[in-house]
Structure 1
Amino acid sequence: MASLGLAIPPQSYLFRFLRRYNPHLIHLDETLYQFKPGEFLNPNQQGRVLNASIDIFDIPSLSGRRVNTYWRDWVLPITDISIGKSEDSFNMVWYKVGDEGYTHSGAIQPVLTITNPLVAEIPIDGAIAEVTVPFTDARWDPADDEPVAYRFYYATTHWVTEIVKDEKGNPWYGVRDDKWDYMFYVPSAHLRLIPPEELNPISINVPSENKCIEVHLPEQVMVAYEYDEPVFMARVATGAKFSNGDYTTPSGRYMTFHKRFSRHMARGNLAANGYDLPGVPWNSYITEEGIAFHGTYWHNNFGRPRSHGCINLTSQAAKWVFLWTMPTVPPEKEWIYEQTGTAVDIIS
């Protein structure tokens, strides 16, 4: 719970699931049922505002009295968690903000502020790294007064290829953008190079044919199985219908044949439901058209369709899926593309 990956399976579905299977076999994605408020909170837990603005209420309910308003990218202390009343009945999680009051979790990215030591060297082919602060500005050149290319957010992943120092001697990591092939520069303290041992595959001794993922569209839940027994469950947000098109995630059988540690996803007009999202983490693709399981840093409101076809997960859950499914991506490679992979059933 330290990282607050709050993707809670719907209660009725969760209880049916737990009645059928032995609960100790199931790695629920940080479920809050039967928890003591605040019991698992990191004392340094923070939350970044995701929407243009959010309101703070005196109780965990939209019917409460509004006591404050904060704007996008404000970083707030998260001091407690409550199950409250909400217009979004599929997500009833509220965060307590300091001693001020409560805000709905859907528009808050749980974050921490952790700085990192400079590594001695970067592998010749580069290495994957993750942002460990609420956000950091990636610049066109390594200096604080250089123009900002993008803002990189907590838990996003980026391929680091070099270490450079600015005129003051401050170290920066050079990050290669995988979509445009540009170089961006980020203060080294804001990125953690992920050690190879952390990227070891999960359940490597289970044959690929004995692994399977089910994505249940009506319940917005994914369940991973080994030998027909469930081992992982997480809430998702799948494809939705928008004014400019139907992006519903199609049902059927697929496989995770193509995987990337990081992907810069961009499409369309930003003013008309387009997006430009660098560093989308832990991508496990199931179609040539780009539908994938991946981590999500632009919303925290799982349980209802809202994507352009992909299967949105918390970054923690997406990392688990990435490491559990086949094929395995070697730490020295940015991606892998095979003709085989782990089976995925999308069920409508």
Structure 2
Amino acid sequence: MFDKKDLISRRTFLERSLVGLGGMAVLPMFRNAKLNLDEFPAGEWLGRNTVYLPSTLPIRAKPSADANVVRYLSEDECVVWLREVVGSHPTGRVNRKWVETPEGYVYSPSLQKVRNIPNEPISTLPQSGEDAGMWVEVTVPYVNLTLENPPAKSPWLNAVSSTLWRLYYSQVIWVNQIKTAEDGSLLYRVEELYGSYGDIFWADARAFRVITAEEMTPINPEVTDKKIIVDVNAQSLTCYEGNSEVYYCQVATGKKLDELGNPVETWATPVGNFWVWRKLYSLHMSGGSAGATEQGFDTMAIPWTCLFQGDGVAIHGAFWHNDFGTPKSHGCVNTTPEDAKWIFRWTTPQAPYYQGDISDPVSYTGTKIEVVQRLY
């Protein structure tokens, strides 16, 4: 059976590693690493293991936590995603979804659903007036990074091995330079514009799809009566235009227990009436502090962020788990990246492409958000 202590995602590992980082050491740079894309299984859809070593994620003979183990997946290993099935849930979990693979079944919450679609790189950056650069989206399971400006500044870089500096499927980031590698391949210089500690990377350009300004056009901008209802009990998000429902998705709001099953009050998603006051194409999120009831977290390139309470509570895409429908976050409203992008385009205010950011903290004109929770 699953032991909750043994299922540690990369994000959770980083959270624990950030406790007491005052004396952190700088890890070796990615100097000699090959930036060529890794090979992945052939399949329309793949599942990427999000469970971090030394823990492992099993493939089982049946969709049950009691079934025999076929083998264990290594970190970030991808398997062919045939279909999702309903099985029995492990002790302490409510999600009953499993992914059928050619070898057996894997518990769905621990597999990010991904595709492997390398792209034809471009050799010249788009330009508009004095602005040059482009937003891109990762369309392969993961892409390796090399750091341009060591030593690493971000806590997440200092908490994991340098061989595991990666961006993952669906992450969004800014490209501001292009260069040709010694083998003739093109590399993109990727940089976070917002929330970054200042780390800058190079990566294989084939991993990234260019996001155009045209695909980010607002959805139904003429409608003024828009509202989002987040139901904490149902773990759902519904978009309304007037009284008409126009979009629905499952979410993961603030979790009530940590990875060891201890109650955590500070991670609850705030309940009440809010409005979208800031939107960013991509945001580096960090938070928390060392202590018995709170741990730090540090995650880069979180896509399609709509802030609605303070500087840290937002609706945004999540790529580090697939447990939508279960409280999972540190207070934010996690959605799939696809859902987050739709919500980002539909809500107001509207972020201009080259800035990738807009804020309106005082006029209360952003899309209204109501977070509801029944206490009985």
Query: What TM-score results when the alignment is normalised by the length of structure 1?
Result: 0.81
**Amino-acid identity (%):** 31
Q: 1:108 aligns with which of 71, 93, 111?
A: 111
Kept in 1, the 8 Å contact 2:89–2:96? The answer is: yes
In the alignment, structure 1 residue 196 sits paired with structure 2 residue 216: no
Please say if residues 123 and 186 of structure 2, whose CA atoms lie closer than 8 Å, have aligned partners that are also in contact. no
Pick from 356, 361, 366: which aligns with 1:341?
A: 366
Task: Report the counterpart of residue 299 of structure 2 in structure 1.
Answer: 277
1:92 aligns with 2:114: no
Structure 1 residue aligned with 2:20:
none
Aligned equivalent of 1:295, options 297, 317, 320: 317
Determine whether 1:262 maps to 2:282. Answer: yes
5+ residue gaps, structure 1, are 1-41
How far the C-alpha of 1:153 sits from its partner, in A, is 0.5
The answer for the alignment partner of 1:64 in structure 2 is 67
From 271, 291, 311, the counterpart of 1:251: 271
Q: Do structure 1's residue 164 and structure 2's residue 171 form an aligned pair?
A: no
Unaligned runs of 5+ in 2: 1-41, 150-161
Which digits, 9 at most, give the CA deviation of each residue in 1:27-53, with x for residues without a partner?
xxxxxxxxxxxxxxx952111001132
Report deviation, 1:154: 0.6
Check 1:72–1:345 CA distance in 2 against 1; reply closer, same or farther (3 A cut).
Answer: same
Instruction: Quickly say closer, same or farther: Cα 1:250–1:268, change in 2 above 3 A.
Output: closer
Alignment correspondent of 2:139: 132
Mapping for residues 160-239 of structure 1, pairs under 5 Å: 160-178=175-193, 179-207=196-224, 210-239=225-254
Match of 1:31 in 2: none
Deviations 1:189-239 (A, max 9, x none): 0111112211111112212xx110000111111111011111111111111
Root mean square deviation, CA, Å: 2.2
CA distance in 1, matches of 2:233, 2:333: 13
In 2, the alpha carbon distance for the partners of 1:149 and 1:236 equals: 28
Counterpart amino acid of residue 104 in structure 1: Y
Write out aligned runs for 1:21-100 (5 A): 43-52=43-52, 53-87=56-90, 90-98=94-102, 100=103
Q: 1:245 to 1:126 in 2, by over 3 A?
A: farther
Q: CA deviation at 1:148?
A: 5.8
SS in 2 for 1:225: strand
Paired with 1:102 and 1:149, the residues of 2 have a C-alpha distance of: 26
C-alpha contact 1:106 1:300 (8 A) present in aligned 2:
yes
Alpha-carbon offset, residue 268 of structure 1: 4.4
**Greater displacement, 148-157 / 271-280:** 271-280
Counting strand residues as a fraction of each chain, which structure ranks higher?
Answer: 1
Structure 1 residue 149: Cα displacement: 8.2
Q: Residues 46 and 184 (structure 1 numbering): CA distance in 2 closer, same or farther, change over 3 Å?
A: same
Alignment length, in residue pairs? 300
Partners of 1:294 and 1:312 within 8 A in 2:
yes
Runs of 4+ displaced beyond 4 Å: 242-245, 268-272
For 1:310-325, what aligned pairs fall within 5 Å after superposition? 310-325=332-347
Going from structure 1 to structure 2, the CA distance change for 1:318 and 1:191 (only over 3 Å counts) comes to same
Query: Which AA in structure 2 matches 1:44?
Result: E
* Pairwise CA distance, 1:245: 5.4
Q: CA deviation at 1:82?
A: 1.1
Aligned counterpart, 2:10: none
Report the AA paired with residue 136 of structure 2.
Answer: A
Q: Which amino acid aligns with 1:258?
A: R
CA–CA separation in structure 2 for the residues paired with 1:278 and 1:233? 27
Q: Deviations for 1:239-275, whole angstroms, at most 9, x for unmatched residues?
A: 1244575210111111111000001112346997422
Cα shift readout 1:157-212 (whole Å, capped 9, x = no counterpart): 001111122233321111122312332111110111112211111112212xx110
Note if contact 2:190-2:201 (Cα within 8 Å) is conserved in structure 1.
yes
Residue 226 of structure 1 aligns to which amino acid in structure 2?
E
* Partner Cα separation in structure 2 for residue 268 and residue 229 of structure 1: 38
Separation in structure 1 between the aligned mates of residue 121 and residue 114 of structure 2, nearest angstrom: 21
**What SS does the aligned partner of 2:371 have?**
strand
Higher mean Cα deviation, 239-248 or 67-76?
A: 239-248
Change (3 A) 1:247 1:72: same
